[in-house]
């Protein structure tokens, strides 16, 4: 009987050792299967990755285009710059009456040229003011009527752009205008 007990003791550890190895093999198999399942369910396919990359590329290109368009739009916006107030007394060529013209002149400049205009205007302000005064004095009474101010505006614009380095002014206008007979 002692021999039977000894055999039982010998086989018991071997049996339990195989059971432990089986459990380890089963556990490793389950882990490998779980990782494989996670790989198939959670990692995107090549098509999904390329679609996502294409979507991001298109979005970044559109953002870049929008930023460029916005910058160009901002540069091309028109800004008003004050040229000055002028009060001239003159006698038109065809009459002996004396008139006084009071004008406040502004210029239209693109936003990207505003700083260039300001520096050039400061350098040449005296010449610009003199040229504008001459244009006012040399105008006919008919040209100075409120209905015909476009001609005077064009003459002032042409003369100012001629005196400036580049054609920085896009247009000229009058904030206030009065023609007074004295």
User: Tell me, what's the pLDDT at 68?
Assistant: 78
pLDDT at 11: 52
pLDDT attached to residue 166: 81
pLDDT at residue 30, as a whole number: 93
pLDDT reported for residue 6: 54
**How crowded is the C-beta side of 68, counted as CA atoms within 13 Å?**
6
Q: Decide if 109 contacts 169 (C-beta within 8 A).
A: yes
**Mean pLDDT value across the chain:** 83
Given this structure, which CATH class describes domain 78-181?
alpha beta
Radius of gyration of the chain (CA): 45
Please state, in angstroms and rounded to a whole number, the distance separating the CA atoms of residues 29 and 25: 6
Regions of the chain with pLDDT less than 70: 1-18
What was the pLDDT predicted at 21?
85
| pLDDT of res. 168 | 86
pLDDT at residue 141, rounded to an integer: 80
- Read off the pTM: 0.59
What's the pLDDT at 16? 52
For residue 151, what are its two tokens?
A: 């001609």
Q: Give the count of alpha carbons within 13 A of 163, CB side only.
A: 19
pLDDT at 107: 92
């Amino acid at each position: 009987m002692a021999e039977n007990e000894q055999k039982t003791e010998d086989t018991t550890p071997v049996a339990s050792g195989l059971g432990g190895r089986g459990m380890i093999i089963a556990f490793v198999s389950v882990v490998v299967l779980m990782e494989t399942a996670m790989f198939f369910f959670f990692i995107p396919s090549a098509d999904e990755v390329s679609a996502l990359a294409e979507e991001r590329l298109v979005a970044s290109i559109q953002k870049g285009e929008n930023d460029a368009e916005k910058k160009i739009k901002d540069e091309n916006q028109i800004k008003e710059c004050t040229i000055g107030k002028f009060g001239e007394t003159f006698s038109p060529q065809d009459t002996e009456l004396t008139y006084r013209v009071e004008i406040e002149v502004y210029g239209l400049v693109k936003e990207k040229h505003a700083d260039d205009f300001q520096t050039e205007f400061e350098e040449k302000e005296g010449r610009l003011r003199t040229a504008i005064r001459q244009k006012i004095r040399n105008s006919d009474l008919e040209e100075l009527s409120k209905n015909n101010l476009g001609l005077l505006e064009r003459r002032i614009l042409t003369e100012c752009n001629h005196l400036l380095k580049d054609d920085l002014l896009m247009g000229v206008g009058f904030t206030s205008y009065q023609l007074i007979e004295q």
